[in-house]
Chains A and B, each alone.
Chain A
């Protein structure tokens, strides 16, 4: 989640793709085939720059990663083919399981919050009361700022003597070691992820909400349904597909979490490394002059496989819902 925004956006597109293609296809089919007859080369010319860049700078390096995962390569020493040895070692590596646990926990913790809170926020800024454009933009600020700046600011805020603890003490709760306890650290990092994601998902929900037919709400009000009931009987069903989308985006991003935990818990991943996530483990094992590139590549491959599996899972769930 080094740059959560692009990741998130991109994921949004993938899952949205399948849907969008359908309606467009019917209208597009006929004229498009005529185009092919007249302009046999231009489509490739159009797509060529993009394909070239992606193939040379993304896919080729990725293939090397996969190849490396079957070697014992180190940073300065070319490795030899070791078959599945790296993957076998993973099974017995406590730190790998800790990483997997934390990445999964992160997902479990962050996703419900990011599905629900931005929806409530969108409802709050939906009504066009004076100044609301300002609020909408302001709520988006954390999305714009780089994750590093964000992480630093929050480390400073959650410090034992930081702003948050001063306030807690003033209210009589007393100081809390947000940045020293294994679980509080993970929770704090999750809170930062949610904080930074609020604005982004709020926008997605705003778009979806505007799509809810007014008549539904009106009918419900006439029936005497209160705000809470209308939320569950009208709003939630209407934006359900968007909620699935948000769940998909945020779970993929959460599984690959790196920056938040790295910045809050430190490079070592909190006390005794107990807060290490999978991508952090990739970074720690694979970097530096003594980095175990082969082993780290194997972890990367695991991350990749799980990510793809998550996407497929959500897409499938969504398709079922559509039907």
Chain B
């Protein structure tokens, strides 16, 4: 079972549409024409799955756009807001400094992307390419770290952070996940799949490990790097538990904790909450939409081989 091989082919696949898009007839991957009834059936199924996967998000969006006077509990439900309004989004901003919180989240997520990309690329390269004593143990350390259920070690992480004097700082939010074990292993795999010959040539030319890493190996695993970046961004943006524990100053809150204020002790409105969740989710969906090409390629890293 090799992810490597599997994935390599995806790359080939995702490229194909570009080539074939302008083909006058609809054909399958073998260039054979697809029968009309089959095509209809396929689209029907695709649309059905689309409704199941994306529909619930649209429902949430619709709730967030419904005005105060529209009964959101009505049954049967109305799918489209009778009088769409952005008022609920304004109310989110009135209740909490949502843009400040979003900015904090952005800082944390960006830092997390940078540290994860750099740190795991370096470590991954060491594990995959450089031969040294203790390499197996180092690999094992990362594998073990990955199996630890994070939920059970948060307080210990907090006290460690306090001893370092970094509690209640955004740096403290970033640190524990800044080089995730799974990203290291992800990068290790990507490097392992590179044909060794390329680097060997550079080695013969007198390039040292650092030069080979930077000039040859790294550019070849851009796809995996994109996957790491997306995971790192998503992870940091969605995280709740850790920032909640480590931050106490509301001015430093990230979006996920900040949005929690929408549920006040004394007041609570379903529409504002829907608006809040959309604010939390939308950036991720947009980010993914922009990067999906690299993402799908990254999942299929190893294409260099073929």
Contact = CB atoms under 8 A, between A and B. Distances in A.
Tell me the dominant secondary structure on chain B's binding face: helix
Interface string A22-59: 00100111011111101110111011011101111111
B123 interface: yes
B26 A130 contact: yes
Interface in A281-313: 282-283, 286, 296-297, 300, 303-304, 307-308, 311
Contact of A36 (B52, B131, B277): B131
Tell me the dominant secondary structure on chain A's binding face: helix
Contact of A50 (B7, B179, B208, B256): B179
A214 B30 contact: yes
B83 interface: no
Interface in B57-93: 57, 59-60, 73, 75-77
Interface residues of B, number: 118
Contact of A39 (B143, B197, B208): B208
Contact of B189 (A17, A121, A128, A147): A17
B271 interface: no
Contacts of B29: 126-128, 214
B267 interface: no
B261 interface: no
Interface stretch (A8-16, A105-113, A179-187, A268-276): A8-16
Contacts of B210: 42
Given A121-B49, A144-B234, A61 B157 contact: yes
B195 A46 contact: no
Contacts of B177: 57
A310 to B, nearest CB: 10
Given A2-B241, A47-B138, A207-B7, A13 B189 contact: yes
B209 interface: yes
Interface in A305-323: 307-308, 311, 318, 322
A302 B273 CA distance: 37
Contacts of B153: 58, 61-62, 64-65
A7 B153 CA distance: 16
B170 interface: no
A148 B239 CA distance: 10
Contacts of B240: 148
Contacts of A3: 235, 238-239
A53 B141 contact: no
A198 to B, nearest CB: 7
B147 A311 contact: yes
B146 A10 contact: yes
A86 interface: no
B199 A31 contact: yes
B77 A62 contact: no
Contacts of A136: 296
A39 B211 CA distance: 12
Given A47-B126, A49-B119, A207 B300 contact: yes
A54 B176 CA distance: 8
A206 to B, nearest CB: 6
Given A54-B142, A62-B153, A308 B26 contact: no
Interface stretch (A77-85, A91-99, A149-157): A149-157
Given A50-B119, A138-B50, A65 B156 contact: yes
A34 to B, nearest CB: 7
A51 B132 CA distance: 15
Contacts of B12: 210
A51 B50 contact: no
Given A127-B34, A207-B300, A279-B151, A43 B132 contact: yes
A70 interface: no
Interface in B179-207: 179-182, 184-186, 188-189, 192-193, 195-197, 199-200, 203
B50 A135 contact: yes
B123 A50 contact: yes
B113 interface: no
B251 interface: no
A203 interface: yes
Contacts of B57: 141, 145, 153
A161 interface: yes
B216 interface: no
Contacts of A104: none
A137 B238 contact: no
Nearest to A218: B30
A241 B122 CA distance: 30
Contacts of B292: 137, 140
B162 interface: no
A163 B59 contact: yes
Contacts of B203: 31, 34-35
A207 B12 CA distance: 9
A263 B1 CA distance: 34
Contact of B1 (A130, A209, A242, A311): A242
B146 A53 contact: no
A233 interface: no
Contacts of A145: 57, 281, 284-285
Interface in B123-140: 123, 125-132, 135, 138-139
Listed from nearest, the 3 A-B pairs whose CB atoms lie closest are A10-B182, A241-B1, A210-B9
Given A31-B200, A38-B208, A128-B27, 17 more contacts: A7-B182, A9-B186, A10-B186, A35-B203, A44-B132, A47-B126, A50-B123, A121-B49, A130-B26, A141-B285, A203-B10, A204-B6, A210-B6, A218-B30, A258-B151, A296-B152, A304-B148
8 contacts: A31-B200, A34-B203, A51-B138, A53-B178, A65-B152, A127-B29, A166-B76, A308-B147
